[in-house]
Amino acid sequence: MKKGLLCIVFCLFVFSISADEGMWMLNLLKQQKYSDMKKLGLKLKDYDIYNPNGNSLKDAVVQFGNGCTGEVVSSEGLVLTNHHCGYGAIQSHSTLEHNYLDDGFWAMNRSQELPNPGLTITFIENIEDVTTYVKSCLDRDKSNDKDGVFYLSPSYLNGLAREKVGEDVLVKTPGVVVEIKPFYDGNQYYMFTKKIYSDIRLVGAPPSSIGKFGADTDNWMWPRHTGDFSVFRIYADKDGNPATYSPSNVPLKPKKWLKISTKGVQANDFAMILGFPGTTNKYYTSWEVAERRDIDNTVRIEMREIRQEAMLEEMLKDPAVKIQYASKYSGSTNSYKNAIGTNWAIGLRDFEQLKLDQQNRLLDWAKNKNQPKYKEALDNIERLVNERSKLRYQNWMLNEGILRGIEFAQVPMNGRNMLVSTLENGAKDEEIEKGLAQLELDYRKFANENYNPLVDRIVSSKMLEAYIQKVARDSQPKYFDIIYSQFDGDPTAFVSYIFDESIFGSETNLKSFMNDSEKLKRLKEDPMFNFAQSVMSESRTLSMQLSQFDIPFAKNRQTYLEGILAMDGTASNFPDANLTLRLSYGVINGYQPKDAVVYSYQSTMDGIIEKEDSTNWEFIVPGRLKELYETKDFGKYGLTNGKMPVAFTATTHTTGGNSGSPVMNGKGELIGINFDRNWEGVGGDIQYLPDYQRSIIVDIRYVLFIIDKYAGATHLINEMDLE
């Protein structure tokens, strides 16, 4: 190997990553991580990122809807986020005549931008540490807190936020709300002042063949070749205040918008992400790690594997079934892959031992400080995890094996219940007709175009067989007794009985019921309805039994986290993600997932063409995109080697909720939009894996290329500040 090539490989994959894990609070950045970020390549001042008294990058990052992130990229309120974050809005505007999911959508002027009732975009105006205030209020109100739960109660904490600010202030400031959230299991509290805009309009979206290219097959995987982005605009009243939709509203003039870099990325370049990560479990104890691995993930993996194999077998037999069950199959594989990846990571780095080491470190410290309460808290957590294990296993088996695994387990019951009540009370004919109409509506909702009763029979039989083998008979739903008393423990015969006898077993059965003179008897004895009722009853019982552990568990975790903070100090730690604004940072880099396998940090359009499969909807390449590729018409967005960049990876620490997050270089310029993680990195929700954890990011140059060259929406490019 030539010396130069050896150096490239060494720099890419043997590079010692000094980027720290973490989803850091912006208001503590200077005290915690700013100096480390500077060493990696940050060129900004700390107040350029977060400035409570002036404009900063924080003001260009928004919460998109309730579970994604977006970024403002123009002085006219233009917002970028992921295609999958905007999917619901795109879908809501799609019709047979205008299928924006298949064809894409581009507003060529402001009048064509489409409103989206219910969609909001939220700015964070201020972040304030209110720990002292909240703890004083908790002490004040302790006589009303009989169960000792106020310290984690959203309604109580948000009431304190309104009390602190004053209801009159909130009334006078349209769209402004305040929220207090607990951190470190209730050891710290921050108040977030938010400004929420509700007139959000769809501006542009590529077709799903670009925005979802690779779909669920490529989900959690690298390399990726997905243009996962969509474009929206924030509208406000003439004074710039949040307002409900009105034709008279105008594009928002934001405080801040991101400049966009078209210079691209290189290995080891600094990168940072601002966003709203959803949930992490960094402070799991060793017992919780084992519980997650041995119960939650193992049940999910085993039961979904059975369901997916059964579905796939039927999908491969019949193209019509493949269409019907494509979404259900892919939806099942998403969390299935996540569970496998998490267990892989738990084993690879022995997360159980890592958490045990942290516990032992606290115990040694606490012993020296004469603080026995931390040992008591850990002992209690271990005891509670052990005591709830049987119930937790039963609950996971019921959810994965029956409620999620069997379609008829969640059959709609409104019409059935309405009719039973009506018939028992001797109601009038018109009330009976209403009940029958609702019953038929329920059936159409249940047996819709994406439902196949034969597939449900086959899958249900296999799921029931696995369930009754793995769960003790006395822990199964009561109605399951019939499997043993009438069908000699044969789940297939039991399922056949349900479909043969149930009103919802077939269209023929429904019609027969409509003409039956003994409707009440049929409804009460219906096996599908009784099955669903029994399963839901068991689910409620398990939830209630498990809930008895919640309060003592939470209180002991609060004490455990109190010890961690006392031992390490707050500067060394970051709180678990909870959909609040955070910053993570790292470098652009590939990774080596296993021996002799090396992944580069950059993917290109070459990979799109390599993956193209005209027989598979996940890998169809639009004709216009192929034309641009073949002619190398990449404009100013291509690489110097003549290729077109699509996506890249960085060592930044992300999770769900970071979808749509802006990825910025050391100057704070937008270089990409975060949209996924690699499979090997999903365990990072428990423990960061520097050698494996990678954020998957659509290159901003590909975004601009699609908007400009593919869609011809050059007016949007002209609206942005490109560097």
Q: Which residues are catalytic?
A: 84, 228, 659
Cβ atoms of 385 and 287 within 8 Å: the answer is: yes
Long-range contacts of 368-371 (CB under 8 A, 24+ apart): 371/563, 371/566
Q: What are the backbone dihedrals phi and psi of residue 676, each rounded to the nearest 5 degrees, phi first?
A: -165, 175
Say how many residues make up the chain. 723
Beta strands in 170-257 (DSSP E): 176-183, 188-197, 199-205, 230-236, 250-251
Inter-CA distances, 177 with 59, 168, 171, 239, Å? 16, 12, 10, 18
Residue 421 tokens read as 């009540």
In angstroms, the CA 522 to CA 519 distance is: 5
Locate tokens 């105008």: which residue?
250
In angstroms, the CA 355 to CA 362 distance is: 11
Quick one: CA dihedral 571, 572, 577, 578, positive or negative? negative
Q: Which string of DSSP letters, residue by residue, matches 365-429?
A: HHHHTT-THHHHHHHHHHHHHHHHHHHHHHHHHIIIIIITT-GGGG---HHHHHHHHHHHTT--H
Quick one: CA dihedral 273, 275, 280, 283, positive or negative? positive
What's the distance, Cα to Cα, between the start and end of the chain in Å? Answer: 37
Is 594 in a helix, a strand, or coil?
Answer: strand
The secondary element (H helix, E strand) that includes residue 128 is strand 121-129
User: 287: Cβ–Cβ under 8 A, 6 or more apart, which residues?
Assistant: 381, 382, 385, 386
Q: Which of 239, 252, 161, 275 is nearest to 198 (CA)?
A: 252
CB-based burial label for 203 (10 Å; 0-12, 13-18, 19+): buried
In angstroms, the CA 615 to CA 612 distance is: 9
* The one-letter amino acid at 263: K
Residue 406 tokens read as 């069997």
The secondary element (H helix, E strand) that includes residue 25 is strand 24-25
CB-based burial label for 165 (10 Å; 0-12, 13-18, 19+): middle
Cβ atoms of 352 and 294 within 8 Å: the answer is: no
Inter-CA distances, 415 with 371, 429, 439, Å? 59, 15, 4
Return the exposure string of 670-705: e unless at least 16 CB atoms fall within 10 Å of the residue's CB, then b. bbbbbbbbbbbbbbbbbbbbbebbbbbbbbbbbbbb
Q: Which of 194, 190, 80 is nearest to 132 (CA)?
A: 190
Return the exposure string of 298-325: e unless at least 16 CB atoms fall within 10 Å of the residue's CB, then b. ebbbbbbebbbebbeebbeeeeebbebb
